Each structure stands twice: as C-alpha cells, then as structure tokens.
C-alpha cells in the first residue's frame, strides 16, 4: 500500500500581501550600496524582496491547513474563516517586515521568520510521522534543503540561505555558477573571521573587533583591491595622464583661464568611430561617425564639439554655452547607421560603413576629454598628443572568442567588430589584462598573509573543499575578478556618455551589445564611477551584507538533467523564452574571468566560451529558425520541469517565476505571447497542477507604462504541485462551464482583493494574472477533451481564458454600453460624455441609439432597461444587433416567458450565444461588485438557467421570419 503524503496548504496557495512585496521590490531597484547585484552583473535579476517573501510563504502553512485536511471539499463556516484571516494578518506582518531592504541583516526579523518556517515544518512532520520514509523526508529537527536549478544571479538561493535553509544553486552558465559560489557557497567558509591583511592585523582595534558574517573577507577584498589598483597605476598609469591646461586652450576657452598650468585627472575620453569618406575627393580622410556633438546638455554646464574644416582636414574644438541647433545630430543623418561626411556632406550609408568596418578600416577619433575640475566636470578639446597615447598602445593579449552572429542582440558584427576583443580599445585591453595578471600575482601574497594569520597554512584548493590559506587567497581572487568585470562593463567601446547626466552608460544598459558610434573610454584609475576602486568598494560592501550563514553549494549543471532537487524545496526563475541570450551575453565577462580564475576552477572554466547548446533559450539563430527554437525550448523546458516535479519535496509546492513584457499581455494570440504559452505548456505537460498565481512587480505600475511595453518588470509566480495520478478527464463543455464559474470570482478577487488579507492586482497585471486561475482549472485535469476526443492544447485553453477578459470579443456598441453601464448604470448623463466614449469605442451615439438600446434626446443619454425594449422585436429582422441588445432581450423574454421563450431567442441569435453568456457573466460580476443587487440577480438567473435555455433553444423550431414571437 502506498502511503500518500499529507500536504498542508501553504500560505502562498491562499494569500500574499502583494502590495507590500511589490513596493519593497520596486524600492530595492534604487539600492546601490550592499545589494548583491553590485557584486557582479546578471541580467533581469529578480528582487530579493520577492524571493524572500515567496520562499517564506511557500514553506509556511496557511492557517486553514488543518481544517481543510479534516474537512475536504466542505465550505468553512464564517467564524472559522474570520479566525484564519486574523492569523494570516499575523503572517503578513512578518512578511511586511521581512521584505524591507533595511531588514536584510536584521537578525530579530529574520529569526521570527525562521521560527515560523520551523513551526510549520514540525506540523508537517507530525502529520506525516507514519510515512514509511518519515526518517528521511520528515525529520522535525532538520529543515529540507533548498534548490534553484536556474539560479542565475542568485537572488533566490541567497534568500533561501538567509531564511535558514541549506541552499543549492545550479545553473548551466559558469559565470552564474561563480556568482552563486561567491554569494552562498564561499562566504560561510570564512564567516566570523577577522581580515588577514597586514594593515588590519597591525591595527589593534581592527584586529580585536567583532567580524560578523563575511565582513572580514570584505575588508580583505578592499585592502588587496587597493593594492591591485596602485600596482596597476605603477605599471601603466603613464597611459592615463592628467591633462594640463595650456594657455592656448584657455585662449579659446576663457572659463579655463584660472586653471592654466593645472593638471586635471581624466574621467573619460570621448571618441567617435571613423570611416574613410565615401566622397572620392576626400577618400583619404577618416571622417567621424558622431551621433551627436553634444557633450553636456545639463543646464548651466552645456558643452559641445565644434568642428572646423580646412580643405581636406578638420579640427575639433569644444565650446561651452548655448547648444547650437545642429550640434544635437553630430554627423548623423537619420536613424540607424546613416551619417554624412563631415567635409563634403556626402551621405555615408549603412552598407558602406559595414564594408569599411569589415575591411578593417573603421578607426576612432577623439572628440573631447572629460576631466575633474575644481567645481565639477569639465569638457576639454582633444589634442594630437592625447590621441596618440591611446593609439600607440599594443596590448599583448586580447580575447579572441567570436561574437555570435545573432543580429537581434549583437549589433556590432555587421560592422566588423567580430570578437569580444574587438569591443575594447587597446588601452582598455591593456588595463583588463594588467588587472587580471595582478590577480595571479597577489594570490601568493594573500596566501602568505593568511597563513601568518589565524587561517593557517593549508594548500587545499577552494575547488577541492579547502578552507585554509590557499583557499582564502583564491576566494579573494574571485571577488577581485568581479571588480574587473565591472571595469569591463563600463570600460568597453560600447559604453557611452550620457550628455544629460554627465555619466557613463554601461555596456549592458540593455540586454544586448548594441553598436556605439561614439563611445566613452573610462579611466579605471580615476576617482570616479567606472573606476576599479569604486568597483572594489561596491563589491566589498555587498560581501558584507551576505548572510554567510549555512553551508550551501553552487553547481554547474543542466536543469533538464539534474538530480539535485531530490527531497528539496524548489523555487526557481527559468529563462523567459527568447528574451535574454544569457550564454552569449555572459561571454563578455567569461573571457576575462577565465583568464584570471581558470587555475582556481579548472573545470568550470574548461571551455573557451560559455557552453551554449543546452541553454534553454529560444534563440532562432542557434536553432535554425523560430519554429525549431520554439520546439527546442518546449522540449527542454518540459524535461527541466519534469525533473523538478518528480523530485521536489512532496509536502511543499514548487514556485516558478516567469517574467514577461507588458506587451505580451496585449495580445492573446500574437507571437509575443508564444513564450508565455510555451512555458505554461512545459509546466503543465511536466505533470504540474497550478495551485496559485501571483503577479510580482519590480517596478511601480506607472513606471512600467512610462518605460513602454518592453520592460521585464513583472513576473508571475506560479505555485505548483504534482498532478495526482487519479486526475480526471473532462470535456471542453465542462471545462468551459467550470471556467465560467471560477473566473468571475477570481477576477473579482483580483481586482478588489478579498477581505483585509489580500491586496488587489494592479490593472496592468490583470490580463496575465487571470491566466493563473484559468490554468489552475485546466491543469488539474489529466486532459480536457475536445468534441472530437483529442486533448485540448494549452494554447486553446489560454485563448479561452483570455477571451474572458478580452472585450475585443464584443462588438463596438456593446463595448460602449459596457463602459457606460460601469460608469452610470441605468442613470442618465450628458450627451458630450456619451459622444466621447462612443468615439473611443469606435461607434457613435446615433448608431448605438439605432440599435435600440439607448435613449438619447435633448443632450441627455441613458441606457434603456430591458423592460423598455419593444416586445414585438424580431431578431431575424434586426439589422444592428449588438450582443448587449441580444442579452437584454433574452432577459426580457426570460422574465415574461421563462426558459422556453428565452430558448427561442437564443436559437435565433445562435451565433452570438457564447458572447451573450460571457456578457452576462461580466455584468453579473460588475453589478455584484457595485452592490446593484437587483440587476445582479437578473444576470445571475440567466447564468444559472443557461443549460435549460440552451436545451430549449435546441428544441425550438427553426425560426422563420414573422413567426418567432408573434
Ligand atoms: C531568469 S535567469 C535566473 C535569474 C535569477 N533568478 C536572478 O534573480 O538573477 C535564468 C537562468 O537560467 C539559466 N539556464 C538556461 N538554460 C539552462 C539550463 N539548461 N540549465 C540550467 N540553467 C539554465 C541561465 O543561464 C540563467 O542564468
């Protein structure tokens, strides 16, 4: 006999304080100090606040759990429901504290949450103590471990560790694995230890202070990072000389006069790429491809490049003051790679630039230099000497790995920048190689220092589980290498200058490598953003915030083939279809990290570039077209989900995030929803039932709209349980009936919240969120059978669910009536308002009036009640018959003649039957919400009598004009 596991309902399957979570997640975006995202970049990280709240709510029992297990299928009495709501509010209070960034290291808050998790765990163990595998699965003294098989930037495993769980993070991508090692695996090994560097050891106060978590480690990263920076300056600092303000420069720029003779540190060199002029007369001249000549557009500090032409040469100077109209466009003619020759005005077309680039004839020309002046940033003119220094450098190493030929995300390849090395200037290459060489050198010093301190001499490497001096030196090396990644992100020739802010736009300002025509070369030795020092500062601060508590592990493995999830709590955030090309993008960092860290992690960095073939991203260029990419994603994601469903701890639900672009919610069938539907298909086909869905936002709704539809700022958290083997099969009709029962209430709850323990879903998230309850119905069945016996596809189910919300299904007149009704009910209002609304809905007041549902006279408009509709109406003779009219005639006839009369109406409007029923649901929900009880009753009657009306319609004689209702 198999003993089934008793599974208490979890809080996340019932309620969540969404507002508090969303607010904290949105706030977190602006946290710059101590956030793990400042350790190393990863694309589309989920907010810690959401990860923390979701794991907590996934592990904590809902107050209703006991009653629900003892009274399956029963409706709970109201007094019990009220006590649950009160208990939920207590749990919500814990979550509301937990999600705040300030409480990230607040032990009192965290302990409260951990205690709640342990309490629920003990309840679950008690419930399952008779289970044959109780010793292994339900040990009340040992919480199950946690696993995220798509760990990425590590937000979720980190929060699991913080909540007291042994955390396992896995990812296919070595860069992601390294980030997770640095966040959860390595810090606990060295937690609570003082720094080993000589300065701290010789400082009595520092030596004797309490070093909690990984603060000692953080201090060492700071110290050795500073050493590296200083050493780099000694070796190559002469290539980053300050600019001396000369008299000549000051002649053209009176504002610089007081500074003559001063040497000012360079923050950035601003370059434009060049090609040979296409004009035969100037074929020998390299002309700039400058998308703007504006250097600073900040009020009071405007500066711009001013070219002056002399025959076949040109000089660039920098002017300050009001920006001339033509400065904005530089030498750009129009969008894309369309420029003009600075000397002749001849258009420079994209094909020409591509050909020049591929032939290796694209160069660079210095436009200006940004320096740190006594009162802020100054923009100085270029000089031949400054330019020469940069151009004469020849680095001894460059990453030769090829950029992918993926025109969607990598735009430089067409222009001849075809390797990762091509994305950097010679000086940038030299700096990055120098820094990575220094890592190798400093490791020995750190090892010596560590051996001389409390760590002790031990040559076991980190990769072999070491925790002694060598492992410590290797650990510091990893965090130092992360600082190199940060320098690379700002210090590539894709990074540009934001003239409105006076700051760098980093390489990965978007999740792609675009082409930058004019770029900003940063000075990593300067005391400014983009410098090595600031990377070290930010990184070490983030290390200090890590929990560094419980032994945890990061592993490189394919989620479609892993067996780490066995018996673990799983929360994960898989790739979003084709949205982010993680493996390709991460090569930008991998090539540098590999150079510095391969001796430490030989197998993680074994391959020349990041492994790609198993990456679960629907990348058309890799799979030979869109369809093949979709098939690959579906098959792989289904396998990955199957692995989770089959292994995860049987008493806990699994939570899965899926981030989507707002644009995807706007079309039910368009290609943009392909990713979401394919993903749902994978989840459902792998044997999961959805038991909850929550839209979680990392940005305020207003900002999502302001940013346009493409921000990956919302995600849906799907709460899943394995589908029981006893799941039934139902028909399409029964499925639709259940949808129609479930969705109005779900929609109502989402838009209104329910009781004081649920917050409403923001309207922008509604159309995605409604898919959850619909798919919960669909997924609980082994299959939904179509009329011909074939199983319904997820795509069809998606469409049917979406239709419930989509008012596009209704004709224009009905849309008008629905909105009018929502605002005014049956009351009158002014013509002007009706007119505006009618236009917005693609109809006119006159037109709606003609259809017979509207009173409009003397500037007054109101909807006609069904009792006012003409009793001699003949549907076969009605040239303008909106669904609104059909439904209200149906109600009129139903009231007078019952089901048989209504059946005749339905038979006559058969083509509109489904929409009529939908409208009735919509109106019922609307009236109920507005407290219009009488109207709600009328619509409800239609809904509850629908089957009978349908039967009457089937039995009704075929309608002939004239004999219908006469
Ligand atoms: C959406 S990201 C995870 C982001 C993460 N939750 C965070 O907050 O940073 C998805 C991850 O899945 C990884 N991935 C893609 N295909 C994979 C596979 N076959 N096995 C394991 N991981 C994979 C990608 O490398 C990426 O890091």
CB of 153 closer than 6 angstroms to any ligand 1 atom? yes
CB of 176 closer than 6 angstroms to any ligand 1 atom? yes
Q: State the pLDDT at residue 707.
A: 44
Q: Give domain status of residue 814, yes or no.
A: yes
CB of 150 closer than 6 angstroms to any ligand 1 atom? yes
Same domain for 704 and 647?
yes
Taking the CA of residue 173 as reference, the ligand 1 atom at the shortest distance is: 25
Q: Which two tokens stand for residue 903?
A: 């059946």
Same domain for 793 and 829?
no
Q: Using CA atoms, how far apart are residues 565 and 543, in angstroms rounded to an integer?
A: 27
Tell me what percent of the chain is helix, strand and coil, each rounded to the nearest 5: 50, 15, 35
- Residue labelled with tokens 């003294």: 141
Q: State the pLDDT at residue 756.
A: 54
Domain boundary among 771, 805, 839: 805
Same domain for 157 and 268?
no
Taking the CA of residue 559 as reference, the ligand 1 atom at the shortest distance is: 20
Q: State the pLDDT at residue 766.
A: 63
CA-proximal residue: ligand 1, atom 5 (nearest): 152
Q: What are phi and psi of 190, to 5 degrees?
A: -120, 20
Q: Give domain status of residue 713, yes or no.
A: yes
Domain boundary among 773, 805, 837: 805
Pocket test for ligand 1, best of 155, 171, 632 (most atoms within 8 A of CB): 171
571-600 burial code (b ≥16 CB/10 A, e <16): bbbbbbbbbbbbbbbbbbbbbbbbbbbeeb
Q: Residue 397 CB: number of other CB atoms within 10 A?
A: 14
Q: Give domain status of residue 785, yes or no.
A: yes
CA-proximal residue: ligand 1, atom 26 (nearest): 152
Taking the CA of residue 573 as reference, the ligand 1 atom at the shortest distance is: 6
Q: Give domain status of residue 933, yes or no.
A: yes
Same domain for 318 and 359?
yes
Which residue, 527, 673, 704, is CA-closest to 29? Answer: 704
Same domain for 741 and 656?
yes
Share of the chain above pLDDT 70, in %: 93
Same domain for 840 and 693?
no
* H or E stretch covering 730: strand 729-731
Q: What are phi and psi of 522, to 5 degrees?
A: -85, 165
Same domain for 792 and 914?
no
CB of 159 closer than 6 angstroms to any ligand 1 atom? no
How many angstroms separate the alpha carbon of residue 616 from the centre of ligand 1?
8
How many angstroms separate the alpha carbon of residue 422 from the centre of ligand 1?
27
Q: Give domain status of residue 457, yes or no.
A: no
How many angstroms separate the alpha carbon of residue 55 from the centre of ligand 1?
18
How many angstroms separate the alpha carbon of residue 558 from the centre of ligand 1?
10
Query: Which residue ranges of the chain lie beneath pLDDT 50?
Result: 1, 662-672, 700-710, 960-966
Q: Residue 374 CB: number of other CB atoms within 10 A?
A: 9
Q: Give domain status of residue 333, yes or no.
A: yes
CB of 381 closer than 6 angstroms to any ligand 1 atom? no
Domain boundary among 805, 837, 854: 805
Q: Residue 107 CB: number of other CB atoms within 10 A?
A: 10
Same domain for 878 and 763?
no
Same domain for 881 and 759?
no
Taking the CA of residue 152 as reference, the ligand 1 atom at the shortest distance is: 27
When divided into structural domains, the chain yields a total of: 3
Report how many helices (DSSP H) and strands (DSSP E) the chain contains, helices first. 33, 27
The answer to whether 553 touches 149, Cβ cutoff 8 Å, is no
Report the SS3 class of residue 873: coil
CB of 46 closer than 6 angstroms to any ligand 1 atom? yes
pLDDT tens column, 734-789: 999 999 888 877 876 776 555 555 566 655 566 677 788 899 999 999 999 999 99
Pocket test for ligand 1, best of 176, 181, 581, 590 (most atoms within 8 A of CB): 176
Same domain for 779 and 857?
no
Q: Range of 363's domain?
A: 243-392
Same domain for 157 and 116?
yes
Q: State the pLDDT at residue 661.
A: 62
Taking the CA of residue 46 as reference, the ligand 1 atom at the shortest distance is: 8
- Residue labelled with tokens 């760990």: 151
Residue 130 class from Cβ within 10 Å (0-12 exposed, 13-18 middle, 19+ buried)? exposed
Q: State the pLDDT at residue 962.
A: 42
CA-proximal residue: ligand 1, atom 25 (nearest): 173
Taking phi over 0 as left and psi of -120 to 50 as alpha, with beta for the rest, 241 belongs to beta
CB of 28 closer than 6 angstroms to any ligand 1 atom? no
Q: State the pLDDT at residue 671.
A: 39
How many angstroms separate the alpha carbon of residue 399 from the centre of ligand 1?
24
Give the angle subtended at the CA of 55 by the CAs of 50 and 57, to the nearest 5°: 95
The answer to whether 711 touches 702, Cβ cutoff 8 Å, is no
**Sign of CA pseudo-dihedral 35, 39, 41, 44:** negative
Same domain for 714 and 824?
no
Q: Give domain status of residue 275, yes or no.
A: yes
How many angstroms separate the alpha carbon of residue 643 from the centre of ligand 1?
15
User: What does the DSSP assignment read for 124-187?
Assistant: HHHHTTTSTTHHHH--TTSPPPEEETT-TT-HHHHHHHHTT--EEEEES-HHHHHHHIIIIISG
């Amino acid at each position: 006999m198999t003993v089934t596991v008793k599974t208490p309902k979890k809080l996340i399957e019932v309620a969540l304080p969404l507002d508090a979570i969303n607010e904290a997640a949105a706030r977190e975006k602006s946290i710059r100090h101590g956030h793990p995202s400042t350790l190393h970049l990863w694309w589309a990280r989920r907010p810690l606040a959401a990860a923390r709240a979701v794991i907590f709510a996934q592990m904590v029992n809902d107050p209703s759990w006991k009653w629900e297990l003892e009274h399956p299928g029963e409706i709970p009495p109201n007094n019990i429901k009220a006590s649950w709501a009160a208990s939920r509010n207590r749990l919500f209070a814990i979550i509301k504290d937990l999600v705040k960034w300030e409480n990230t290291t607040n032990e009192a808050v965290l302990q409260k949450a951990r205690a709640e998790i342990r309490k629920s765990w003990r309840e679950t163990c008690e419930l399952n103590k008779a289970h044959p595998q109780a010793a292994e699965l339900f040990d009340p003294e040992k919480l199950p471990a946690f696993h995220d098989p798509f760990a990425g930037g590590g937000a979720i495993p980190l929060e699991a560790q913080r909540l007291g769980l042994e955390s396992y993070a896995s990812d296919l991508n070595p860069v992601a694995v390294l980030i997770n090692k640095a966040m959860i695996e390595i810090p606990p090994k060295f937690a609570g230890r003082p720094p080993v560097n000589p300065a701290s050891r010789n400082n009595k106060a520092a030596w004797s202070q309490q070093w909690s978590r990984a603060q000692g480690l953080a201090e060492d990263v700071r110290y050795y990072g500073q050493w590296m920076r200083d050493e780099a300056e000694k070796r190559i600092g002469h290539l980053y000389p300050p600019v001396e303000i000369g008299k000549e420069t000051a002649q053209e720029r009176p504002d610089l006069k007081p500074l003559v003779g001063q040497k000012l540190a360079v923050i950035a060199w601003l370059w434009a790429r060049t090609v040979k002029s296409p004009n035969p007369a100037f074929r020998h001249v390299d002309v700039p491809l400058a998308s703007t000549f504006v250097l600073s557009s900040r009020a009071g500090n405007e500066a711009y490049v001013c070219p002056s032409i002399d025959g076949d040469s040109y000089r660039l100077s920098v002017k300050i003051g009001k920006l001339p109209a033509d400065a904005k466009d530089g030498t750009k003619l129009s969008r894309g790679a369309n420029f003009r020759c600075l000397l002749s005005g001849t258009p420079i077309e994209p094909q020409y630039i591509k050909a020049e680039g591929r032939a290796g004839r694209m160069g660079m020309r210095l436009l200006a230099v940004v320096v740190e002046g006594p009162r802020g940033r100054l923009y100085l003119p270029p000089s031949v000497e400054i330019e020469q220094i940069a151009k004469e450098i020849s680095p001894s190493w460059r990453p030769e790995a090829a950029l992918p030929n993926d025109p969607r995300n990598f735009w430089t390849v067409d222009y001849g920048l075809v390797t990762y090395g091509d994305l950097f200037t010679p000086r940038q290459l030299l700096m990055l190689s120098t820094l990575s060489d220094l890592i190798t050198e400093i490791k020995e010093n750190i090892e010596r220092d560590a051996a001389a301190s409390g760590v002790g001499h031990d040559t076991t490497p980190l990769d072999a589980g070491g925790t002694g001096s060598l492992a410590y030196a290797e650990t510091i090396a990893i965090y130092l290498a992360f600082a190199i990644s940060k320098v690379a992100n700002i210090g590539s020739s894709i990074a540009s200058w934001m003239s409105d802010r006076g700051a760098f736009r980093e390489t990965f300002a978007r999740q792609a490598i675009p082409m930058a025509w004019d770029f900003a070369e940063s000075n990593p030795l300067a005391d400014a953003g983009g410098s090595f020092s600031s990377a070290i500062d930010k990184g070490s601060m983030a290390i200090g915030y890590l929990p560094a508590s419980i032994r945890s592990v990061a592993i490189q493995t394919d989620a479609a083939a892993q067996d780490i999830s066995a018996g673990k709590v799983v929360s994960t955030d898989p790739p979003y279809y084709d949205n982010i090309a993680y493996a390709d993008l991460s090569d930008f960092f991998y090539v540098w990290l590999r150079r510095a860290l391969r001796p430490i992690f030989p197998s993680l960095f074994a391959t020349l570039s990041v492994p790609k073939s198993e990456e679960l991203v629907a990348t058309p260029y890799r799979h030979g077209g869109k369809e093949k990419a979709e098939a690959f994603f579906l098959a792989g994601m289904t396998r990955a989900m199957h692995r989770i469903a089959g292994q995860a701890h049987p008493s806990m639900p699994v939570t899965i995030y899926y981030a989507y672009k707002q644009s995807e919610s706007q079309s039910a069938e368009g290609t943009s929803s392909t990713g979401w539907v394919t993903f749902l298909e994978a989840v459902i086909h792998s044997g999961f039932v959805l038991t909850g869905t929550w839209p979680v936002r990392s940005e305020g709704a207003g900002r999502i709209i302001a940013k346009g539809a493409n921000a990956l700022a919302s995600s849906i958290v799907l709460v899943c349980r394995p589908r029981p083997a006893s799941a039934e099969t139902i028909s399409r009709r029964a499925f639709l009936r259940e949808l129609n029962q479930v969705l109005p209430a779900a929609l109502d709850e989402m838009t209104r919240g329910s009781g004081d323990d649920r917050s409403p879903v923001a309207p922008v998230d509604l159309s995605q969120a409604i898919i959850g309850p619909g798919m919960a119905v669909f997924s609980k069945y082994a299959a939904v059978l179509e009329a011909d016996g074939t199983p319904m596809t997820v795509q069809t189910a998606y469409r049917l669910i979406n239709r419930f919300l989509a008012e596009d299904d209704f004709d224009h007149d009905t849309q008008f009536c629905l909105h009018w009704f929502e605002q005014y009910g049956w009351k009158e209002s002014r013509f002007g308002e009706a007119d505006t609304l009618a236009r917005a809905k693609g109809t006119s007041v006159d037109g709606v009036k003609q259809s017979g549902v509207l009173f409009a006279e003397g500037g007054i408009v109101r909807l006609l009640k069904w009792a006012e509709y003409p009793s001699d109406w003949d549907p076969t003779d009605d040239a303008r018959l909106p669904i609104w009219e059909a439904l209200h005639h149906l109600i009129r006839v139903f009231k007078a003649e019952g089901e048989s009369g209504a059946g005749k109406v339905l038979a006559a409007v058969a083509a509109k039957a489904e929409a009529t029923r939908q409208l009735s649901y919509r109106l019922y929900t609307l009236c109920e919400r507005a407290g219009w009880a009488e109207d709600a009753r009328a619509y409800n009657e239609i809904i509850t009598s629908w089957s009978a009306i349908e039967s009457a319609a089937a039995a009704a004689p075929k309608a002939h004009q004239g004999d219908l209702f006469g």
